[in-house]
Chains A and B, each alone.
Chain A
Amino acid sequence: MKLARFGLALTGLSFGLLAAVYVRALAFTPVERFQGPAQKIFYIHVPAAVWTELAMVLVGLAGIFYLFLKDPRLDRFAEASAEVGAAFGTVVLTTGPIWGKPVWGTWWTWDARLTLTLLLFLVLVGYLILRGAVADPGMRARYSAVLGICGLVLVPFVHLSVYLFRTLHPQPIVLKPSAPSLPGEMLVTLLFSFGVFTLLYVGLVTQRVALARLREERAGLTETGGAPHA
Chain B
Amino acid sequence: MPEGVPQNAAYLTAAYIVAAALLLGYAVSLYLRIRRLR
Per DSSP, chain A at the interface is helix
Residues A76-134 near B (CB distance < 8 A): 84, 87, 90-91, 94-95, 98-99, 101-102
Give the shortest distance, in Å, between A106 (CB) and chain B (any CB): 13
Check A98–B30 contact: CB distance below 8 A.
no
Per DSSP, chain B at the interface is helix
Number of interface residues of B (CB under 8 A): 27
**Within 8 Å CB of A18, what residues of B?**
20, 23
Smallest Cβ-Cβ distance to A43: which chain B residue:
B16
Check B22–A36 contact: CB distance below 8 A.
no
Knowing A204-B30, A214-B38, A215-B37 are in contact, say whether A98-B11 is a contact too (CB < 8 A).
yes
A35 interface residue (CB < 8 Å to B): yes
Give the shortest distance, in Å, between B30 (CB) and chain A (any CB): 5
Q: Which of A91, A99, A210 contacts B34 (CB 8 A)?
A: A210
Knowing A37-B8, A91-B23, A94-B22 are in contact, say whether A44-B30 is a contact too (CB < 8 A).
no
Residues B8-37 near A (CB distance < 8 A): 8-9, 11-12, 14-16, 18-20, 22-24, 26-27, 30-31, 33-34, 37
Check B26–A98 contact: CB distance below 8 A.
no
Smallest Cβ-Cβ distance to A217: which chain B residue:
B37
Check A214–B19 contact: CB distance below 8 A.
no
Q: Bound state CA distance, A184 and B12, in angstroms? A: 21
Smallest Cβ-Cβ distance to A19: which chain B residue:
B20
Knowing A36-B5, A102-B6, A214-B38 are in contact, say whether A94-B30 is a contact too (CB < 8 A).
no
Number of interface residues of A (CB under 8 A): 39
A15 interface residue (CB < 8 Å to B): yes
Check A38–B24 contact: CB distance below 8 A.
no
Q: Bound state CA distance, A101 and B18, in angstroms? A: 15
Knowing A33-B2, A91-B19, A94-B19 are in contact, say whether A211-B11 is a contact too (CB < 8 A).
no
A207 interface residue (CB < 8 Å to B): yes
Check B11–A99 contact: CB distance below 8 A.
yes
Check B18–A98 contact: CB distance below 8 A.
yes
Which of B12, B16, B18 has the most chain A CB atoms closer than 10 A to its own CB?
B12
Knowing A11-B27, A18-B23 are in contact, say whether A211-B34 is a contact too (CB < 8 A).
yes
